[in-house]
């Protein structure tokens, strides 16, 4: 009785103590389903193929580093990671620079047909880019760009621009007119205003579009598959696919290669998670 | 423009029988289109795309909504759980495909796990059985893309003002009632945008199908989609005229679906939601 009178009678409190274990149990279950396969692949890379065949769901016993060492020293892993990095960085840089320029013009200049042009870009979001891949290949072939970094970078930039402009323009239009006038009085040209005022102010949005472009490029497969037949230009997704079909019997090796290929995207995402979520948040703000 | 110009070429090429060498000369009119619709493999691909479009919406939608509501509650460690749920979405489709292919091999990890859980009777030839493979692929796609739906919904939830839910709580509404009558209706625009993106993505799905299902299964139509059919025939079999005809069909189907969706469901949302920061 004494205990009862001390305990707070609030139902709200009781709900929390009821809800929390259940919430945690559910959240844990969901998280487990999400990452268990990934963890399995990473751990599987530390086993040997006979171990995996004998007991597919077991733990490494003993731990072997050999698979990872083999992938890192003997395969084309580093070459492919380098190619992926060049293409992803080139794409990101071009998307951010061109997207910023286009969005700036569409946001801060008034000219006839401006809204029409903007609608045109938003319509670009509706076009299914995947359908254009065959004629795109033919165009790149006629331009002699097949088997070059440009063959991947240029189309990726083109396909990323609509989304980039749609995300960036609102940021740039939201900058108050007074700031532009003040910059003009201080002697800044329009470009100076873009460089010194508009760009720093819209940095979160720039980071978002940059991250989205980078991740999309890093993961892309169909375009490189068609336009990069030269093995020395292959990117990591192509590498994963080739390695797995070339060494079908070396399950442990494939697991190791797959986990190494996942690593950069995972690291990058963990570092940039706030930006990605924040950017999408901006995109669905209603 | 970057899509329109190539699509213009595609329409032109699609009227020829052309192996991709030299200029196209053998004009065949609309024969490539009639051929496509007479090919049972292409019809299978259409059916598979339909399964993926509707399956994704019907399965991912409820799961994502439930998880998003759960992860929107305040509890310690929430940020970590949010991060973990997004992991599958960040990985490349190719990596995910290879990963599941290894897990699902005959007598592999998934089979062993199911047997040890006493569900050995349910074990299938996941990726080889012609009647099962498309559902296996749908399950993998769900695993990968439900995280994207959750990110979008969580973003939408963060825009639901606390005042509204607090007011409902003060009026005596339970947690479920608040979700049902206040939160979910306010998520409408976000849900519709997700449906739209999911639909367009499902129609063009390629990477995962390509690496996960073996070419033999794909060429029988069991796991083909419009995009894999297009690349198999147009690029690898060098039937460029025919492949371009398939590309035009894929383009028209996707674009019409997008326009219809926009016309009936998204009209207001596109303005308000995608460009929300404008005003």
Domain extent listing, chain B: 39-238
Q: pTM of the prediction?
A: 0.83
**Residue B277 per-residue DSSP state:** G
Smallest CA–CA distance from A160 into chain B, residue = B2
Tokens linked to A229: 């037949």
ipTM for the assembly? 0.83
Name the residue facing A258 among B78, B98, B276 (closest C-beta). B98
Q: Give chain B positions within 8 Å (CB) of A265.
A: 90-92, 95
Determine the residue among B7, B91, B148 to mutate to test chain A binding: the one whose Cβ has the most chain A Cβ atoms within 10 Å: B91
Homologous superfamily of domain range A78-246: MetI-like (1.10.3720.10)
Count of CB atoms within 10 A of residue A72's CB? 13
Predicted pLDDT at A90: 94
Which chain A positions have a beta carbon within 8 Å of B152's beta carbon?
Answer: 280, 284
Residue B108 is given by DSSP the state S
Nearest chain B residue to A140 by CA distance is B6
Task: Give the pLDDT score at A12.
Answer: 42
B40 three-state secondary structure: helix
Chain A contact present for B242, CB below 8 A = no
Which residues of chain A are within 8 Å of residue B113 when distances are taken between CB atoms? Answer: 57
DSSP-derived letter for residue B182 is I
Q: Give me the residue from A130, A137, A174 closest to B206, CB to CB.
A: A130
Closest chain B C-alpha to A15 CA, distance in angstroms:
10
Q: What is the pLDDT of residue B1?
A: 59
% of chain B residues with pLDDT over 90:
20
Over 70: is that where the pLDDT of B221 sits? yes
Q: How near does any CA of chain B get to the CA of A189, in Å? A: 24
Quickly name the fold that domain B39-238 has.
Answer: MetI-like fold (1.10.3720)
Q: Where are the alpha helices (DSSP H) in chain B?
A: 4-13, 31-38, 40-71, 78-90, 93-103, 109-116, 133-157, 162-170, 175-178, 184-186, 188-203, 207-212, 215-219, 226-230, 240-261, 267-269
Percent of chain B with pLDDT over 70: 94
Tens-binned pLDDT, residue by residue, of chain A (286 aa) = 344 444 444 444 434 444 577 788 888 888 888 888 888 888 888 888 888 777 777 777 778 888 888 888 877 889 999 999 999 999 999 999 999 988 888 888 888 878 888 877 777 777 777 788 888 888 888 888 889 999 999 989 988 888 888 888 878 887 888 888 888 888 878 778 888 888 888 877 888 788 888 888 988 999 999 999 888 899 999 998 888 888 877 888 888 988 888 888 788 777 777 666 666 665 554 3
Segments making up each domain of chain A, as ranges: 13-67, 78-246
B249-279 pLDDT, tens digit per residue, is 998 998 888 888 877 776 655 554 444 433 3
Q: Which residue shows structure tokens 């570092």? A: A271
pLDDT score recorded for residue B8: 83
Torsion sign (Cα): B116, B119, B120, B126: negative
Cross-chain residue pair B75–A127, CB shorter than 8 Å: no
pLDDT tens-digit series, residues A45-70: 888 888 877 777 777 777 888 888 88
Angle between helices A149-173 and A77-108 (to 10 degrees): 40
Q: Which chain B residues in 39-78 lie under 8 Å from chain A, judged by CB atoms? A: 67, 70-71, 73, 75, 77-78
Give yes or no for B117 touching A (CB within 8 A): no
């Amino acid at each position: 009785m004494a205990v009862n009178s001390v305990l707070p009678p609030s139902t709200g409190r009781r709900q929390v103590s009821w809800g929390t274990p259940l919430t945690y149990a559910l959240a844990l279950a969901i998280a487990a389903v999400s990452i268990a396969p990934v963890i399995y692949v990473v751990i599987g890379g530390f086993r040997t193929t006979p171990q995996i065949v004998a007991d597919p769901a077991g733990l490494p016993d003993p731990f072997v580093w050999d698979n990872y060492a083999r992938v890192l020293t003997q395969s084309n892993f580093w070459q492919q990671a380098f190619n992926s990095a060049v293409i992803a960085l080139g794409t990101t840089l071009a998307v951010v620079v061109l997207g910023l320029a286009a969005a700036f013009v569409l946001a801060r200049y008034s000219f006839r047909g401006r809204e029409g042009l903007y609608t045109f870009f938003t319509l670009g979001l509706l076009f299914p880019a995947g359908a254009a891949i065959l004629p795109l290949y033919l165009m790149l072939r006629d331009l002699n760009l097949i088997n070059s970094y440009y063959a991947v970078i240029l189309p990726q930039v083109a396909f990323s621009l609509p989304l980039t402009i749609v995300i960036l323009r609102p940021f740039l239009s939201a900058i108050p007119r007074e700031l532009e006038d003040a910059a003009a009085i201080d002697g800044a040209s329009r470009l100076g205003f873009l460089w010194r005022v508009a760009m720093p102010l819209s940095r979160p949005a720039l980071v978002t579009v940059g991250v989205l472009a980078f991740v999309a490029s890093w993961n892309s497969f169909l375009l490189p598959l068609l336009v990069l037949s030269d093995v020395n230009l292959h990117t990591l997704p192509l590498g994963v696919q080739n390695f797995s079909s070339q060494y079908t019997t070396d399950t442990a090796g494939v697991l190791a290669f797959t986990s190494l290929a996942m690593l950069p995207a995972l690291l990058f995402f963990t570092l940039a998670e706030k930006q990605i979520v924040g950017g999408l948040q901006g995109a669905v703000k209603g | 423009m970057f899509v329109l110009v190539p699509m213009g070429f595609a329409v032109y090429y699609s009227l020829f029988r052309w192996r991709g060498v030299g200029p196209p000369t053998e004009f065949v009119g609309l024969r490539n289109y009639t051929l496509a619709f007479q090919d049972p493999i292409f019809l299978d691909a259409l059916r598979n795309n339909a399964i993926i479009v509707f399956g994704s919406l019907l399965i991912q939608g409820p799961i994502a909504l439930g998880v998003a509501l759960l992860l929107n509650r305040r509890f310690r460690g929430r940020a970590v759980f949010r991060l973990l749920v997004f992991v599958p979405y960040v990985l490349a489709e190719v990596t995910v495909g290879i990963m599941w292919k290894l897990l699902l091999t005959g007598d592999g990890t998934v089979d062993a796990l199911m047997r040890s859980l006493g569900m050995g009777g349910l074990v299938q030839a996941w990726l080889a059985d012609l009647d099962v493979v498309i559902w296996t692929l749908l399950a993998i796609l769900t695993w990968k893309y439900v995280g994207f739906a959750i990110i979008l919904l969580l973003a939408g939830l963060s825009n639901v003002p606390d005042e509204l839910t607090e007011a409902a709580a003060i009026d005596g509404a339970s947690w479920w009632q608040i979700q049902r009558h206040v939160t979910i209706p306010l998520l409408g625009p976000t849900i519709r945008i997700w449906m739209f993106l999911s639909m367009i993505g499902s129609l063009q799905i390629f990477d995962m199908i390509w690496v996960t299902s073996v070419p033999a299964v794909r060429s029988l139509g069991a796991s083909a989609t419009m995009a894999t059919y297009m690349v198999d025939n147009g690029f690898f079999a060098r039937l460029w005229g025919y492949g371009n005809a398939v590309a035009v069909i894929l383009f028209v189907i996707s674009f019409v679906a997008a326009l219809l969706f926009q016309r009936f469901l998204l009209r207001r949302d596109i303005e308000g939601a995608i460009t929300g920061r404008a005003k």
